[in-house]
Structure 1
Amino acid sequence: MPRLQDAFMTLTGHAPDGVWSAPGRVNLIGEHTDYNGGLALPIALPHRTRCAASPREDDLLRIHSLQDDSSVEVRIDDVAEGHPAGWTAYVAGVVWALRKDGNAVRGLDVVVDGQVPLGAGLSSSAALECAVAAAASDLFGLGLLDSSDGRRVLAAACQRAENDIAGAPTGGMDQAAAMHCTERHALRLDCLDGTTEQVPFDLTSHDVVLLVTDTRASHALADGQYGARRESCEQAAEILGVETLREVVGRPLDETLALLPDEVLRRRTRHVVTEIARVDEVVSSLREGDLAAVGRTFVASHESLRDDYEVSCTELDLVVDTAMAHGALGSRMTGGGFGGSAISLVPAADVDRVTAAIEDAFAAAHLTPPSSFPVTASAPAHRD
């Protein structure tokens, strides 16, 4: 943190008013369900993005990153889709969205230190947005960090920044996770009404580890593939006469799918409906302490994402297949897909063996070496 504060001092000539941080997230299950009004079950990562910040008397946003030593200046009223470009859209977009919602916010000096792996499907963008939102709430006296409802307002502003300014048509799961997750718990998030429930998630008593593998495969949500999946779901919902695919959960699945005119829409819908059900299967299994059942549901989720939703890739499939062949209880891709990370439930005694096997499999396939690391369920956005 001294490096962050020193950089702020160099940029502005004074110390920051404070430092705020927000976590990346891993979604245990419930993929591509958030924009369909479904369920998700994320945890917050120990990896966090921090921002040192101070308010300004004008409307200028001065934004600097320790990761690439770059700076951008933009006025709040000039923020628009695609402007500013790149990672600074996530920062400027948050302040813009808070003002659009009627909050009395002004300019900020912000220096960012992002320690959530970029492009790994671990929601580095939401961590950045939520750290800035937390800072803005405190610095401008909004008080939104102090209650669950206030945090929901901040998460919505962060999602709007990502959708409207950064141009990524994501759902709200990532921002909700960064704002609401707690230590040693997973968050059952109902994306239809925004309600949350804390589900105990402490694997140490079972001698099991949640292993994240960053495949280092390219991962981008604004390149059209993610948006195409979302459009397919919206088209299916319109044909079925509902606002979101969540509303067909509980209907006979075969009869619902028969109403859709082509195989692609049927596969996309089948994934969403069955994935929503899998979230509560995992919640029940966690409450019962049945990690073997959790693992089986992980694998079913990955197969659905691979075959019906078609968002997996060679690297993600290789992690899952290798982990399962070397003793994992379960393994699946996590995040939007097309690259990024996979997660595996691994007996603690087997972590080194599974990690080495994944590395060897990537080497044999002449793929970029992956990075695997254990994670625990951690804390939400807060002032450091």
Structure 2
Amino acid sequence: MTGVWYAPGRINLIGEHTDYNGGLVLPFALGSGVTVSAARRDDRLLVLRSAQLPGVVTVPLDELSPGRITGWAAYPAGVAGVLRAAGYPIAGATLSIDSDLPRGAGLSSSAALECATALALTRLYGLRVPRTELARYAQQAEHEYAGTPCGIMDQAASLLCTEGHALLMDCASGATEQVPLDLAGHVLLLVDTRSPHVLSDGGYARRRGECEEAARLLGVSALSEVTEVPAALPDPVLRRRTDHVVTENDRVRRAIEFLRAGDAAGLGRVLTASHRSLRDLYEVSWPAADVTVDTALDAGALGGRMIGGGFGGSVLLLATLDRADDVAGSVSGAYAARGLATPVITRVSPGPGAYRRS
């Protein structure tokens, strides 16, 4: 059996670093992602090829375990390993992988690769695994095989989003709702700052550890159970992390209200407030992101914020249609004036979640 499966990257409209804290997120699927052309084989080998990288990686499935495979191949191999550990009879496959997502841009290229692989492997073997479960397996693969303690948002967005909608997800309960993302007369601009990030470099894991420590001290299982920052947290760093999570969950709720009311200006304000919180309280922004947001606001954008785990990647801006080109031009000019790499600026809209192409 053979087939071609696709899974998109994602943009998180708002709700950053709340997923692993049991909070609310509001991502939507991009129109670009990862494609996996797959063929079943029965020799207990996983053969991996990437259109973007040279060479072939061959993985004996019976020897597969966390730590044995490194680099990009750890993501698809990890999915195979997790599925086999869960009892699914994956006996081998050849996977040819292609992507039009920029790596390190904060658009969840790793989750898209995991999700496309999960769909391919389960469908090759006639396995009907619910997408919510596939998202968990993909997340587990990233934890165990790639060493990144990510939340569930990226994998859920890639598998569960629908065209024209953002996905409201309560990461504590797993409950989801499709929220229409209709921005008539406005445009979302994605700015790849060309400052690549690497979530496995330690900064992301430190933030998660700080949140877990704050939750332990407060006697809760996750920080999203907290509705205000209590005085019981004497450590100023832990107070800042908690403050971000509490206020970011509230910003997700307000963003949904603004979307339903057609209030783009209100949505822009909460996007900018999210960026400032990520910059000042969570401390994961980076210079090019701050330049992007500040310049865009000065040029007439309604709002903007960094997206993804931070320390590099992309920025999302909201502008009226008649100001979009001016905003993009001002951002590019600001980069040139500072000697920064030329940003890649594109208009984005919510696309479909993962599916079989052929």
Does the CA-based 8 Å contact 1:216-1:370 persist in structure 2?
A: yes
- In structure 2, give the amino acid aligned to 1:38: G
Verify: 1:243 aligned to 2:221, yes or no: yes
Provide the residue aligned with 2:47 in structure 1.
Answer: 62
- In structure 1, give the amino acid aligned to 2:181: F
Q: Deviations over 1:265-318 (max 9, x none)?
A: 000000011101111110111011111100000011000000000000100001
Residue 129 of structure 1: how far off its partner (Å): 0.6
Unmatched segments (≥5 aa) in structure 2 = none
Q: Deviations over 1:19-62 (max 9, x none)?
A: 00000000000000010000100000001210100111121100
Q: Deviations over 1:235-289 (max 9, x none)?
A: 000000011011113xxx24x2x11121000000000111011111101110111
- In structure 1, give the amino acid aligned to 2:225: E
- In structure 1, give the amino acid aligned to 2:83: L
Provide the residue aligned with 1:103 in structure 2.
Answer: 88
- In structure 2, give the amino acid aligned to 1:63: L
Structure 1-normalised TM-score? 0.91
Provide the residue aligned with 1:125 in structure 2.
Answer: 110
Provide the residue aligned with 1:329 in structure 2.
Answer: 302
2: distance between equivalents of 1:70 and 1:311? Answer: 35
- In structure 1, give the amino acid aligned to 2:134: L
Verify: 1:161 aligned to 2:141, yes or no: yes
Provide the residue aligned with 1:365 in structure 2.
Answer: 338
Provide the residue aligned with 1:303 in structure 2.
Answer: 276
2: distance between equivalents of 1:378 and 1:79? Answer: 34
Does the CA-based 8 Å contact 1:216-1:368 persist in structure 2?
A: yes
Provide the residue aligned with 2:192 in structure 1.
Answer: 214
Does the CA-based 8 Å contact 2:111-2:155 persist in structure 1?
A: yes
Residue 82 of structure 1: how far off its partner (Å): 2.9
Verify: 1:223 aligned to 2:208, yes or no: no
Specify the SS of the correspondent of 1:323.
helix
Provide the residue aligned with 1:344 in structure 2.
Answer: 317
Residue 81 of structure 1: how far off its partner (Å): 2.6
1: distance between equivalents of 2:35 and 2:165? Answer: 22
- In structure 2, give the amino acid aligned to 1:343: L
* Superposed counterparts of 1:160-309, under 5 Å: 160-203=140-183, 206-249=184-227, 253-254=228-229, 256=230, 258-309=231-282
1: distance between equivalents of 2:125 and 2:21? Answer: 34
- In structure 2, give the amino acid aligned to 1:153: E
Provide the residue aligned with 1:72 in structure 2.
Answer: 57
Verify: 1:114 aligned to 2:99, yes or no: yes
Does the CA-based 8 Å contact 1:182-1:380 persist in structure 2?
A: yes
Residue 195 of structure 1: how far off its partner (Å): 1.1
- Which of 122, 128, 132 is 1:152 aligned to? 132
Q: Which runs of 4+ in 1 moved over 6 A?
A: none
- Which of 34, 47, 63 is 2:19 aligned to? 34
Does the CA-based 8 Å contact 2:103-2:196 persist in structure 1?
A: no
1: distance between equivalents of 2:219 and 2:264? Answer: 38
Q: Deviations over 1:87-121 (max 9, x none)?
A: 11110001111111121212110000011111000
Residue 83 of structure 1: how far off its partner (Å): 2.5
1: distance between equivalents of 2:9 and 2:56? Answer: 23
1: distance between equivalents of 2:245 and 2:68? Answer: 33
How many pairs are equivalent? Answer: 357
2: distance between equivalents of 1:316 and 1:129? Answer: 27
1: distance between equivalents of 2:292 and 2:67? Answer: 35
Specify the SS of the correspondent of 1:177.
helix
Structure 2-normalised TM-score? 0.98
Identity rate of aligned residues, in percent?
Answer: 52
Residue 352 of structure 1: how far off its partner (Å): 1.5
Q: Deviations over 1:171-219 (max 9, x none)?
A: 110000001000000000110011110000022xx21111000001020
- In structure 2, give the amino acid aligned to 1:221: L
Residue 77 of structure 1: how far off its partner (Å): 3.0
- In structure 1, give the amino acid aligned to 2:53: D
